[in-house]
Structure 1
């Protein structure tokens, strides 16, 4: 079984094309999940909306409102 290396941290220099593509796909899927009321209920029950780190991540994800990104949302 092949082991994968750690993904570069946000502070590391230069993401590869594959890293950027993977990040895009993961964030796209997460934003699309936020349209599901059952998922939002689950997050609320877990107390995610009370955690500053999660709230900051949601703020960061606001870039998906821009037309260059929102066109990928289904």
Structure 2
């Protein structure tokens, strides 16, 4: 049979007078503004990378077409 320990738990909680709360002040407006600026910069970088990947793909496609045309002329 289990023993009811609720009374002991409540007594132990009332004995705990330690104040563990800590106040932390943070200048959140400056932090968030800087964060969103960084997010915008990263998005711009991602867009530029995507554009460069597209350009590289087109360049590769052109090179392959030229190579295929040269191979056909040799035959």
Larger-Rg structure = 2
The one of the two structures with greater contact order (alpha-carbon pairs below 8 A, sep at least 6) is 1
TM-score, structure 1 normalization: 0.30
TM-score, structure 2 normalization: 0.29
